[in-house]
């Protein structure tokens, strides 16, 4: 007897990540190849059935309009934007309809924002890309948001993006056809190990920065954990047992920069994430990232990124709504 075919639908939002999409859909194709029969079918849909442009500028034609798409077994929203879409209420209605019909719903990277605003992640564990974790938690304080690689909680699937979509879909296949079969599929992608959902998204600091000095690593770890920006450079140095002079020497030796410059870049990186992924005003973002004035924040931001905080909120690709400050 032929196995039941599972249909996976993809709602692609303009500006979506091609890597995230490919990581998810290629696993399905390879599963069919390994089985020698069709285990999975899939289709792509878009808001208006037109061509969709990915973040790399490549355009693809959707199979159908989202509103008229067939009912899949699993629907994944693939998006690289957290901003509201022009016709979002219509999308919410369609997503809620799918949920009422028993369709499993999921999101890759920023697609979680669309599901969350539709109220479809309530009561479920969920995750999102590490860069937007803080902003997502702030926007949806009632949700159970983890920092894990992906989450499969009952009939909700969320993924941090990139190659994590590969691991999530391999777990999905493993649930339906066994772990041994999923491992065979993974082997075809030179994926030596299927990662568990609760593994860290980011590389360890030691690997990411290419340094091994324990006190310097601990200093940077505490800096990243201090999301409220309440601790001064001196207080952080004292916490790890370093004098200001020792700290300066370590940063110069291992990172070829100064502690103040590194801290400024860290604050500006956090500000960029908040500007892109929250509705906080520009001055609220500035304060949240440790800047005492709008002018200082704007000047520092322009010098580092080559654009202003206001312009950061102007969309480059896709139907993103401009958020006023």
Instruction: Provide the phi-psi class of 127: left if phi over 0, else alpha when psi is between -120 and 50, else beta.
Output: beta
Report the C-alpha gap between 102 and 83 in whole angstroms. Answer: 27
Look at residue 49 in the predicted model and tell me its pLDDT.
72
The structural domains of the chain, ordered by start, are 6-188 (3.40.50.880), 205-312 (1.10.10.60)
Report the C-alpha gap between 65 and 44 in whole angstroms. Answer: 9
**292 close to 249: Cβ distance less than 8 angstroms:** no
**312 close to 272: Cβ distance less than 8 angstroms:** yes
Look at residue 138 in the predicted model and tell me its pLDDT.
85
Regions in the chain scoring below 50 on pLDDT: 316-325
Mean pLDDT, all residues of the chain: 90
Q: How many CA atoms lie within 13 A of 263 on its CB side?
A: 22
Whether this model's pTM surpasses 0.85: no
Q: What is residue 107's three-state secondary structure?
A: strand
Report the C-alpha gap between 315 and 81 in whole angstroms. Answer: 9
**106 close to 128: Cβ distance less than 8 angstroms:** no
Look at residue 314 in the predicted model and tell me its pLDDT.
57
Residue found by looking up tokens 């999921």 in the block: 106
Look at residue 202 in the predicted model and tell me its pLDDT.
81
What would the pLDDT profile of 150-208 be if each residue is shown by its tens digit?
999 999 999 999 999 999 999 999 999 999 999 999 999 989 899 998 888 887 888 88
Look at residue 82 in the predicted model and tell me its pLDDT.
84
Instruction: Provide the phi-psi class of 146: left if phi over 0, else alpha when psi is between -120 and 50, else beta.
Output: beta
Report the C-alpha gap between 56 and 77 in whole angstroms. Answer: 18
Strand partners, 148: 200
How far CA 189 is from CA of 118, 151, 164, 247, in Å, comes to 35, 22, 13, 43
| Token digits of residue 22 | 């490919």
Report the C-alpha gap between 221 and 300 in whole angstroms. Answer: 23
DSSP state of 317: S
Look at residue 283 in the predicted model and tell me its pLDDT.
92
């Amino acid at each position: 007897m032929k196995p039941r075919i599972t249909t996976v639908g993809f709602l692609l939002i303009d500006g979506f990540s091609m890597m995230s999409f490919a990581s998810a859909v290629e696993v399905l194709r390879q599963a069919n190849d390994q089985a020698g029969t069709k285990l999975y079918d899939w289709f792509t849909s878009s808001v208006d059935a037109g061509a969709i442009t990915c973040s790399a500028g490549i355009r693809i034609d959707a199979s159908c309009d989202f509103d008229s798409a067939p009912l899949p077994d699993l629907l994944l929203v693939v998006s690289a934007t957290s901003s509201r879409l022009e016709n979002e209420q219509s999308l919410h209605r369609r997503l809620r309809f799918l949920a009422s019909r028993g369709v499993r719903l999921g999101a890759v990277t920023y697609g979680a924002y669309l599901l969350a605003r539709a109220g479809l992640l309530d009561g479920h564990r969920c995750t999102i890309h590490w860069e937007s974790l803080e902003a997502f938690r702030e926007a949806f304080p009632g949700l159970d948001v983890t920092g894990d690689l992906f989450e499969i909680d009952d009939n909700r699937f969320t993924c941090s993006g990139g190659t994590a979509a590969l691991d999530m879909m391999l777990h999905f296949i493993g649930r339906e056809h066994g772990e041994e079969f999923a491992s065979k599929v993974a082997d075809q992608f030179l994926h030596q190990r299927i990662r568990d959902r609760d593994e860290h998204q980011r590389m360890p600091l030691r690997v990411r920065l290419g340094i091994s000095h324990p006190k310097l690593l601990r200093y940077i770890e505490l800096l990243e954990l201090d999301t409220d920006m309440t601790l001064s450079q001196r207080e952080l140095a004292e916490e790890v047992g370093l004098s200001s002079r020792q700290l300066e020497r370590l940063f110069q030796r291992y990172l070829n920069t100064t502690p103040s410059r590194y801290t400024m870049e860290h604050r500006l990186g956090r500000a960029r994430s908040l500007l892109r992924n929250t509705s906080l005003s520009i001055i609220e973002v500035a304060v949240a990232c440790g800047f005492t004035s709008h002018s200082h924040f704007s000047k520092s931001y322009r010098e580092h990124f080559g654009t202003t905080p206001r312009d950061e909120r102007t969309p480059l690709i896709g139907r993103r709504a401009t958020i006023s400050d």
